[in-house]
Amino acid sequence: MTSEDVGPGGAPRVPRWAAEIPSARSPGVPDAIALSPILSGRYRQPDLDRIGAAAPGARLVMVSTEGRSDHPLDEVEVLLSGWLSPEAIDRVLARAPRLRWVHSAIGGVESMVAATRRDPPLLLTNARGVFSRPVAEYVLMMILAIARRLPELMELQKERTWQPLEGRELRDVTIGIVGYGSIGREVARLAAPFGCRIVATRRNPSLGSAAADGSDGAGEDGSGTKVDVMLAPEELPQLLREADFVVLAAPLTEATENLVDDRALALMRPGAWLVNVSRGGLVDERALLRVLREGAVGGAVLDTFRQEPLPPTSPFYELPNVILTPLTSWSSGRVLDRSVELFCDNLRRYAAGRPLRNLVDPAAGY
C-alpha cells in the first residue's frame, strides 16, 4: 500500500468517487468466490487454504481462462480474475447476478473497467504493488546493462574480439519515469543510491512530492525517495527532452493510448532509450520501428507489445538496438504469495465491511 492509499491511523483511504459504489451493502463472508487462473495458471493447495481461511464457509468455484466454471456462478459475490479475455469476462459476469466485487490479480485493468461499469457498479480492485519490486529490478538491470554497454560487449565476445568500450556512470544519467505509481516509485527508489537524476510525471504532481520549502515540484515522494523534477502529464515533453532513459510505467487508458507517438519520439534525445514495462498500447509501434531503424534514438527495451505473444515475423526481432523480452519483467518467486495475500487481506476487509485496498477509479481507468 502506498502513501496515497492510506488515511488517518493507517487505514485505507476511501476516494470520493468510491462513495458512489455500494461496497459493503451486506457485510459478511461471501457465499461463493470464483477463481480464475492467475500468474502461474494453477492454484497451489496452500493458496486455496489461505483463501478458505480468509473467507470461512465460502464455496470456491474454479473458472477457466475461457470463462467456463465447474459449478454454477449464481451465488458468486467475489471474482478473483487473472488472465481472462474480455469475452471470458463477459461470460462470467452474465452468469453471476450476485457479483459485487472483482479483484484483478494483474496491475492493468483496462479490459475489466468497462465490464464492471454496471448498474449498480461493481467494486474493482487490482494488484498494485505486487509486481513493483521485480519490475523495478528489471528496469535497473536494463539501464545498467546499456550504460555499461553489455550488449556490445556480448557481441564482441561472440566475435572473439578484444576491444574495451567506455561506459557511463549512472550518476551522469537522467531517468524519466512516465507514470509515478507503485512501479515508478520503486524504480526511483532503487536508482537513488546510484546517484541518478530522476524526472517523473504523475496525474497529480503535488501529491507527496512538494519540496520542503514548497519552491518547486521536486523533493521526496513520501517514501523518502528523492525526485529531482516532478511533472504533470501534460509536461511530458520536458521529460522526453531531458531523459537518457524514458521508462513507461503508466496504465493503459484512453488518455495514454499511443502516448509515445511520432511527436513524442521526435522529442527524445539522440542516444536515449525507451523502456516499456507497462502496456504495448502506450506506444505507436510503427513510429517506434521507424525511429529505431533511422537511429534517431539509442534503442528500446520492450517487455510488452500490442500483440502477445509477439509473432516470430515481428521486425522488432531483427533490430540490433532493441532488447525484447517475453513479458517477464514482473516475474519472481514471490509475486504469487504477495498476490494471494493481498486478495486474502481484502477478503477479510470485505467480510468486515471495511474499505478495500487498491480500489480502481472507473473514471480514470486505474
Angle between helices 182-191 and 132-147 (to 10 degrees): 50
Say whether 131 sits in a helix, a strand or coil. Answer: coil
- Same topology, domains 3-130+333-352 and 132-324? Answer is yes
Dump pLDDT digits (tens) for 140-198: 999 999 999 999 999 999 999 999 999 999 999 999 999 999 999 999 999 999 999 99
Dump pLDDT digits (tens) for 306-322: 999 999 999 999 999 99
DSSP assignment of 335-364, as one string?
A: HHHHHHHHHHHHHHHHHHTPPPTTB--TTT
Q: What is the pLDDT of residue 216?
A: 42
Dump pLDDT digits (tens) for 82-133: 888 888 998 999 999 999 999 999 877 887 887 777 777 889 999 999 999 9
Cα separation, 356 vs 123, whole angstroms: 9
Q: What is the CATH number of domain 3-130+333-352?
A: 3.40.50.720
Query: What nine digits make up the cell of 318?
Result: 531483427
The structural domains of the chain, with segments of one domain joined by +, span: 3-130+333-352, 132-324
Average pLDDT across the chain, whole number? 89
The strand pair at 76-81 and 32-35 is best described as parallel
Dump pLDDT digits (tens) for 5-38: 544 444 555 555 454 444 434 569 999 999 999 8
Fold of 132-324: Rossmann fold (3.40.50)
Cα separation, 349 vs 343, whole angstroms: 10
